[in-house]
């Protein structure tokens, strides 16, 4: 099966189709249809642009995204991490205000919403501070990795924001390119996948594949992938962090990397998607900078 990527830039929207024709037999079942909104790497902060990152503009971009998701009546929204950012001269209270303000925009979505923790979410803050200002619908605020069901699907949110010694990222006590999933979380993941019979989708910020420059993936990605593969239930992983649109199929699991909302100026440079899950297919409908994708 070969990926064809027809890269086009749209002023208003584009449509991307990602069809996964060979799901594991154990999860081939009448699973109905679920549609969810997908967005990543908004890096919101009320600060001047740096390079291609237009931090302040993410507010209007998220407003446009939420309007589309409400109009389309998707079942839920999920953000893949690096929700907010900080000032060049970090200030904890200002960072908390950026988080509060941006969550207020995200909260305009008229349905369940979820967050994946990204490394920049721990700039100036602890995980507890971040969690206290956001909502993961139906999830205890103390949980940074968790799972939930929607219809006949199971969804898993992972947290790669841990140092090699297992300590959590906290007020910049980390290197952005040293992400880890500790044993406690791996054990939880094994048990979570063992106890579900549903087709499973995984969300994570840092990548679960060994990419060219070796800096954007979770260090123990091989251990995490082994758990996903051994379960026989995971069909796709959605990830962010690299601000590139990528797809790779590894041992019958599809890994899709989302573009960053923060990149480039102007409403025409927004990026978000609606993902539709059906019995034996996944369709990704992209907006603005998201490319058309189709499997041949």
Which band of pLDDT confidence, cut at 50, 70 and 90, is reported for residue 19?
A: very low
pLDDT at 42 > cutoff 70: yes
Read off the tokens for 182.
């500790």
State the pLDDT at residue 156: 98
- Cβ(218)–Cβ(224) below 8 Å: yes
- Cβ(125)–Cβ(158) below 8 Å: no
Which band of pLDDT confidence, cut at 50, 70 and 90, is reported for residue 280?
A: confident
Considering the entire predicted model, what is its pTM?
Answer: 0.90
- Cβ(154)–Cβ(147) below 8 Å: yes
State the pLDDT at residue 20: 42
Which band of pLDDT confidence, cut at 50, 70 and 90, is reported for residue 294?
A: very low
Q: Is 45 exposed, middle or buried (0-12, 13-18, 19+ CB in 10 A)?
A: buried
pLDDT at 47 > cutoff 60: yes
Rounded distance, CA 116 to CA 77, Å?
Answer: 11
Q: Is 62 exposed, middle or buried (0-12, 13-18, 19+ CB in 10 A)?
A: buried
Q: Render pLDDT for 134-189 as a digit per residue (tens, 0 to 9).
A: 999 999 999 999 999 999 999 999 999 999 999 999 999 999 999 999 999 999 99
Residue 207 makes CB contacts below 8 A (sequence gap 6+) with 216, 217, 218, 221, 239, 241, 242, 255, 257
Q: What is the 3-state secondary structure (H, E, C) of 94-156?
A: HHHHHHHHHHHHHCCCCCCEEECCCHHHHCCCCHHHHHHHCCCCCCCCCCCCEEEEECCEEEE
Beta bridge mates, 3: 295
- Cβ(84)–Cβ(53) below 8 Å: no
Which band of pLDDT confidence, cut at 50, 70 and 90, is reported for residue 27?
A: very low
- CA proximity to 109, closest of 77, 137, 61: 77
Which helix (H) or strand (E) segment is 294 a member of? strand 292-295
What is the total residue count of the chain? 296
Q: Parallel, antiparallel, or unpaired: how do β-strands 199-204 and 76-79 relate? A: unpaired
Which band of pLDDT confidence, cut at 50, 70 and 90, is reported for residue 13?
A: very low
Q: What is the largest CA-CA distance in the chain?
A: 53
Question: What homologous superfamily is domain 3-295 in, according to CATH?
Answer: Metallo-dependent phosphatases (3.60.21.10)
State the pLDDT at residue 293: 64
Question: Which is higher by pLDDT, 112 or 25?
Answer: 112
Find the angle CA(169)-CA(173)-CA(175) to the nearest 5 degrees: 85
pLDDT at 271 > cutoff 60: yes
For 25-29, 109-113, 171-175, 176-180, which range has the lowest pLDDT when averaged over its residues?
Answer: 25-29
What mean pLDDT value characterizes the chain?
Answer: 89
Rounded distance, CA 92 to CA 90, Å?
Answer: 7
- Cβ(25)–Cβ(31) below 8 Å: no
Domain ranges for the chain, please list them: 3-295
């Amino acid at each position: 099966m070969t990926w064809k990527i027809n890269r086009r830039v749209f002023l208003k929207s584009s449509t991307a189709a990602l069809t996964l024709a060979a799901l594991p037999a154990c999860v081939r079942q009448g699973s109905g249809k679920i549609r969810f909104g997908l967005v990543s790497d908004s890096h919101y902060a009320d600060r001047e642009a740096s390079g291609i990152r237009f931090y302040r503009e993410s507010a209007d971009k998220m407003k446009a995204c939420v309007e589309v998701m409400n109009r389309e009546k998707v079942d839920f929204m999920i953000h893949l991490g690096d929700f907010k950012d900080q000032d060049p001269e970090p200030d904890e209270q200002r960072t908390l205000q950026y988080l509060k303000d941006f969550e207020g925009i995200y909260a305009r979505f008229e349905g369940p919403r979820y967050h994946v923790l990204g490394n920049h979410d721990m700039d100036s803050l602890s995980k507890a501070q971040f969690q206290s200002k956001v909502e993961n619908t139906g999830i205890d605020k103390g949980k940074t990795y968790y799972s939930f069901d929607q219809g006949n699907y199971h969804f898993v949110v992972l947290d790669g924001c841990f140092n090699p010694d297992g300590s959590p990222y906290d007020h910049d006590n980390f290197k952005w390119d040293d992400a880890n999933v500790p044993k406690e979380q791996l054990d939880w993941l094994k048990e979570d996948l063992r106890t579900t019979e549903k087709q499973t989708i995984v969300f994570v910020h840092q990548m679960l594949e060994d990419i060219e420059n070796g800096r954007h993936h979770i260090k123990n990605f091989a251990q995490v992938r082994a758990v996903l593969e051994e379960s026989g239930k995971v069909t796709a992983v959605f990830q962010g962090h690299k601000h590139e649109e990528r797809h790779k199929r590894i041992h019958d699991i599809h890994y899709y990397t989302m573009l960053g909302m923060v990149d480039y100026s102007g409403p025409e440079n927004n990026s978000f998607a609606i993902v539709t899950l059906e019995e034996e297919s996944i369709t990704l409908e992209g907006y603005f900078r998201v490319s058309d994708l189709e499997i041949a």
